[in-house]
Structure 1
Amino acid sequence: MRHPVNVYTGTVKDYEGSRPSAIGKRQVDGELRLTEHGLEGDEEAEKVIHGGPDRALCHYPREHYAHWQQTFPDNSDLYYAPAFGENLSTVGLTERNVFIGDIFRWGEALIQVTQPRSPCFKLNFHFNVSDMASQMQACGRVGWLYRVIAAGQVSTDSPLELASRTSDVSVQDAIAIAWHMPFDDLQYRRLLSAAGLSASWTRTMQKRRLSGVIEDNSRRLWGK
């Protein structure tokens, strides 16, 4: 199936009370160059926790915005693509039907799903909602990230097309295993077996297996 895609890029800006971020993005049209680091002209403020080969692109389902508009009716006009800082926006692809390791063809490029997006505290400042990152993680409407396995010219007129699927772990499954379940070594092994899983998620799941402990996410979610 072919999925038309809207494309967004952004530059780093300062946010009062928080660290700089490139979450504010604008729609672009026409042809763009996609490298292993992402779209030309798209910036990341903190490359240690954002961006990098396993997190070159962020995809957020457009249909999720109805949920946020209903959740925050007084500020519903804030919740439209690309409010969550996504590069790619579609209708028809969600965490339920996209799987870890999925490879999509986009123009000349091939991109691979590596992990769910891990919401961070910058979302709290971006939306002026104190627990936005926590809410996003709890409801599982987080989107996902890609690595670029074949760079090339892409276009806003080129749809995403699934080229390969080798995993039985959906993005929704990965979210549930990582954040919604108590410690479960069998499920961590299942997630680790998903070809294409990002290095950071592989490291986190393996650390849990070795320590028997789920790490504290408060710094990521709250900035503390």
Structure 2
Amino acid sequence: MAGPSCMNHTLNGILYQDMTEFQRLMIYKRIYHPQWDACEDDIPTSYNEAKDMMEDLGQVLATMFNSSKMPRNRIFGIIDYMVGAEEDRKEPSWLLDNITTMLLFSSGSMIKHYLIYLNNKNSLLTVSDIISSMVIVCDRMDNDLAPKGKPGVNSILDWVFSEFPSHKKNKLYSDFWQEIIDRCKEEDVSGWFCFLLCLLCAIGGMITQLGSYLSEEAFFDDPALQDTGAEE
């Protein structure tokens, strides 16, 4: 019932024409079977598309996670099975950004514990895969990295880079930035010049946010910088 919505069907008839978009969406979700293979082939291009496709599934997983009746590792095993990230595979069957989108519609607490689970397990998915994908998905949905008044992807980055074991941080930083660079290249593969334009124009807003976020973290964590009285 909570699976990805099958939006390829057309509802015909006068009754359906008189329905609101919300009513049509509920009919899609409740009458037709979930379109699981959509997660292997298609990536939502906007927040509304992602919400229609993944919100129910993310909320169900969050509810299961918050329940005391099911062990958390079992829930994470269900996620691995659902997205095709079992150890006997070469790569997950779901596209990485769809896995991340589903997680972003769950809860911050579940995401953190799932990242711990991935860190402790020889999984096809890695922590750097997920957190770099979160930045890309956040940009695609036109969401702020650090929205005012509520936790955003920045809270997950804060937690990962501060709470993960220190001996793993160098590799985590390196892998994270390499993933960001690789993903930027994928957005525009017509050479380094176009790649630089892509950074400055197409995804410049998110890169600026990411740089601003990291700069602020470095500034507030370093007393020497705070004492200079510099404004930038």
Q: Does the alignment reach a TM-score above 0.5?
A: no
Return the index of the structure with the highest Cα Rg.
2
TM-score normalised over the length of structure 2? 0.31
Higher strand share: 1
Bigger relative contact order (CA 8 A; separation at least 6)? 1
Higher helix share: 2
TM-score normalised over the length of structure 1? 0.32
